[in-house]
Amino acid sequence: MQRMSGTSVVEGVLIDWVLTQPESQPQLPVSWLDAEDVAAELERIQRNRARDTAREADLVLRLADLRPDVEDPPPGSPGTRSRTWRRTDPEFPGVSEFFPDEVAHAMNVGRGTAAFRVRRAWTWRENLPVTFEALRHGEIDERRAGVLAEALQHTSPDLARAVEETVLPGARDLSLAALRREALARLAELDATAIEERHEQAKRAADVRRYDCGDGMVALATDLPADEAAACYDVIDQLAAMAKADGDPRPIGQIRSAIHSMLILRPADSGLPGVTVNLAVSATLEGLEGVSTCGGEVNGFPITAAHLRDLLRRLGALGLQKPDGGSLTVAMSDADGRLLATVTAAELARLAEAGCPEHPADACECPLLGVPEPTDRYEPTTALQRFVSTRDRRCRQPNCGQRSGWADHDHVVPHAQGGRTTCTNLCCLCRSHHRLKTFARGWTFRMDADGTLHVTSPSGITRTTRPPGLRPPDPAPPDPAPPPDDPPPF
């Protein structure tokens, strides 16, 4: 453990002592407890969880104090953050724009989750100090304190505290939905413009999101004004009811889901221009042939080998044929999943036909494919781009899932500092994390030859990401047992 230092020797010793104390252990086995004991223990856990949440918020705010914006790119300079990016990101006066990334790295969560917790902590401190103090003492649970923060984060501190004074005393006896309604109703009584500002903030943060539900299913969610959402659902529901009345045997929910997909993918006479659906499919030959249960991926979401085979049939690519308007890349890996080469179907056919120019086809073991050659230029060649995108598939920053189609090919060791344009020095980073690596102070990136990326934050925490297909190394063998003590000399 890295030693923390206080403002004096005594504080430093105290910090070290606190951080090295063992965690508390449960006092009694659960099987020994009766119903009253269980209920009391559950209540105690909720109080402790509230205290831990407050402690987490205090730590996040302390880190914000330690990360001023003095080294961020100033307005008008290269790399300045565009105000059209990430409208949902928190912005705090005097705090570095890269601060939420460091919180995400420390907590090992995604940037969106970290930004949410940062914004919540900031709201508790600035707008809801009494709620924050109650959370520290376990007098209000995390969820209700969070509802108040979410409802009052966009208003002024004075208004938020006026609502808090009225709503907080009875918050524990209200459901989460009722507490939210009461807080917003009280806010509307005090200042109707605050509700409108909150609505405008939500509209600016609107997006379409995907959530992995498991079992090869993904939820597609759209943020819409309430009236538009109601109208859209009503159209889907009516069309599903008509299909059901016409004899569709599927459950009504499944029909609604199919209608929703059909309306998006088949706009009919909407007048919208045609688009090409872009799906990045990764699979093993064994899985496609049905001789293995090993699955693959579609745009980052895991699906089974059966789903992949069905998808390829629908795309007209069952024989690994290039779909119309699409492309097919063949990737070859070793037994550990390390990517060895990538090639298009046309290039593969030409190589197979030409063979080795020096040996007969039936007696040649010369490699015809391998890692793309490096280039002296800054921009990677098409072969390098294809190799790196196939290897990484998504942004390589820990806990970022942005797919590689929206990512930059970044030099791990900057090209201006002697870094070569080669597959062992290129990785996929989304634009946000590319800027982080380029402009945020104190971050270090290091990549191994197999594509494993090690990212260390300014606070000294290192996270590692591996290419999706690369298998983790075998665990190190245990240390040999020490030799027995020598017998006494008598």
Spell out the long-range contacts of 333-340 with Cβ–Cβ below 8 A and sequence spacing 24 or more: 333/469, 336/470, 336/471, 337/467, 337/469, 337/470, 337/471, 338/450, 338/451, 338/467, 338/470, 339/387, 339/390, 339/391, 339/451, 339/467, 339/469, 339/470, 340/369, 340/370, 340/371
Residues whose CB is less than 8 angstroms from the CB of residue 93 and which lie 6 or more positions away in sequence, other chains included: none
The DSSP annotation for 238-271 comes to HHHHHHHHTT--S-HHHHHHHHHHHHHH--TTS-
Burial class (CB in 10 A: 0-12, 13-18, 19+), 118: buried
| Same domain for 169 and 55 | yes
Rounded average pLDDT over 73-89: 63
Q: Which residue has the higher pLDDT, 80 or 427?
A: 427
Residue 368 lies in a domain: no
| Same domain for 52 and 198 | yes
Residue 328 lies in a domain: no
CA angle 78, 84, 86 (to 5 degrees): 100
Rounded average pLDDT over 243-254: 89
Residue 472 lies in a domain: no
| Same domain for 178 and 62 | yes
CA angle 128, 93, 167 (to 5 degrees): 10
| Same domain for 92 and 168 | yes
CA angle 129, 134, 136 (to 5 degrees): 95
Residue 167 lies in a domain: yes
| Same domain for 230 and 123 | no
**What pLDDT score was predicted for residue 330?**
72
The percent of residues above 70 in pLDDT, for the chain, comes to 72
Q: What is the pLDDT of residues 418-458, one digit of tens each?
A: 999 999 999 999 988 999 999 999 999 999 999 999 999 99
Q: What range does the domain containing 306 cover?
A: 280-315
State the pTM of this model.
Answer: 0.75
**What pLDDT score was predicted for residue 147?**
97
Report the b/e string of 45-79 with b at 16+ CB within 10 A. eeeeebbebbebbeebbebbeebebeebbeeeeee
**What pLDDT score was predicted for residue 75?**
78
Residue 133 lies in a domain: yes
Rounded average pLDDT over 151-163: 91
| Same domain for 404 and 259 | no
The DSSP annotation for 269-302 comes to TS-PPP------EE--HHHHHTS----EEETTEE
Number of domains in the chain: 4
**What pLDDT score was predicted for residue 48?**
95
| Same domain for 192 and 61 | yes
Burial class (CB in 10 A: 0-12, 13-18, 19+), 114: buried
Top-confidence range, 26-40, 63-77, 251-265, 439-453:
439-453
Q: How far apart are CA 195 and CA 175, in angstroms?
A: 21
Residue 420 lies in a domain: yes
**What pLDDT score was predicted for residue 86?**
47
DSSP3 helix / strand / coil % (the chain, rounded to 5): 45, 10, 40
Q: Which residue has the higher pLDDT, 295 or 422?
A: 422
| Same domain for 129 and 227 | no
| Same domain for 212 and 120 | no
User: What ranges make up the beta strands (E) of 319-382?
Assistant: 329-333, 339-344
The residue from 163, 190, 205 where one domain ends is 205
Q: What is the pLDDT of residues 46-57, one digit of tens each?
A: 999 999 999 999
Residue 33 lies in a domain: no
| Same domain for 245 and 151 | no
Q: How far apart are CA 162 and CA 257, in angstroms?
A: 44
Please determine, for residue 88, whether its predicted confidence score (pLDDT) is greater than 50: no
Please determine, for residue 306, whether its predicted confidence score (pLDDT) is greater than 60: no
Residue 148 lies in a domain: yes
**What pLDDT score was predicted for residue 85?**
47
| Same domain for 163 and 152 | yes
The residue from 166, 189, 205 where one domain ends is 205
| Same domain for 162 and 64 | yes
